[in-house]
């Protein structure tokens, strides 16, 4: 399977498109065994390519032994982007997709998206909140926006598996100091481990929300901020959610704290 813009196919006419893509020159943003992400330009425009060259049977078996679902190629990210588009959750704009081979340990695949220019991760955008608090309306709007994204995913059978604020990009194409709370645009990225099914099991909901909680612990959030998230995420009154979903939120809190303590040398700022 090969889907690419017509002008790219014309540019590479008579050459192997897979060979051209896998030999792209550009800035490598991440590289792991059998997978890398490259920023490159064609015709003066920038794109990102996620290139999968096969992980090998050893890595596949290792993942299975650890009860982790292996990522065999770019198809998962391609499907995830398509699903998020259906849910009106902003994400990367697809440009191309390709896959060749049948052996899951050696299959080559790629997904290409447009660069999300003029964006900043929420991790970076919110980094200075403890010492330089944001505008109240903006903070609440950001929290509500993230909660709505999480709700849209989980209510429609999608869980992210790496749901941290560094994977939520805020559009700052205007002036950062003049962002309008009522028109915020946040893009969800890093979708290669996304799972899609009819319903999201509770343990995967807990993992996603605990990831958000863990990655927000150093932002100086208050209990009221967390209550805002809970109310919007569950789309019901705060009292109902805290009463009916008490065990769920206890599990989220415990998991988030454990993750913070595991990955940080600091003491968790428990709210």
| Catalytic residue positions, numbered | 162
Residues 6+ apart with CB under 8 A from 192: 35, 50, 71, 74, 76, 77, 80
Which two tokens mark 163? 């749901």
Residues 6+ apart with CB under 8 A from 19: none
Backbone region of residue 78 per phi and psi (left: phi > 0; alpha: psi in -120 to 50; beta: other values): alpha
Is residue 149 packed enough to be buried (19+ CB in 10 Å), middle (13-18) or exposed (0-12)? buried
Q: Which of 152, 165, 137 is nearest to 234 (CA)?
A: 152
Where helices occur in the chain by DSSP H, the ranges are 6-11, 17-22, 57-65, 75-86, 122-125, 136-155, 202-215, 223-234, 238-244, 246-263
> 94 in helix, strand or coil?
strand
166 close to 252: Cβ distance less than 8 angstroms: no
Which two tokens mark 205? 């909901």
């Amino acid at each position: 399977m090969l889907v690419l813009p017509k002008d790219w196919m014309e540019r590479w006419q008579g050459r192997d498109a897979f060979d051209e893509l896998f030999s792209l020159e550009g800035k490598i943003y991440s590289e792991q065994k059998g997978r890398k992400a490259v920023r490159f330009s064609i015709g003066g425009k920038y794109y990102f390519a996620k290139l999968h060259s096969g992980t090998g049977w050893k890595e596949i078996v290792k993942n299975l032994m650890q009860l982790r679902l292996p990522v065999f190629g770019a198809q998962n990210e391609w499907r995830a982007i398509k699903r998020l588009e259906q849910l009106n959750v902003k994400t990367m704009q697809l440009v191309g997709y390709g896959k060749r081979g049948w052996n899951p340990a050696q299959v080559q695949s790629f997904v290409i998206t447009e660069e999300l220019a003029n964006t900043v991760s929420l991790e970076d955008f919110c980094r200075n909140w403890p010492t330089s608090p944001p505008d109240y309306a903006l903070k609440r709007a950001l929290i509500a926006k993230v909660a709505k994204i999480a709700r849209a995913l989980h209510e429609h059978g999608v869980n992210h598996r790496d749901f941290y604020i560094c994977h939520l990009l805020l559009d700052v194409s205007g002036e950062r100091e003049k962002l309008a709370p009522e028109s915020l645009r946040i893009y969800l990225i890093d979708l290669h481990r996304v799972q899609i099914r009819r319903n999201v099991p509770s343990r995967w909901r807990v993992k996603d929300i605990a990831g958000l909680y863990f990655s927000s612990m150093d932002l100086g959030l208050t209990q009221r901020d967390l209550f805002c998230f809970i109310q919007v995420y569950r789309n019901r009154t705060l009292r109902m959610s805290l009463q009916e979903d008490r065990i769920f939120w206890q599990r989220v809190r415990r998991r988030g704290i454990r993750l913070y303590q595991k990955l940080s040398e600091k003491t968790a700022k428990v709210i």
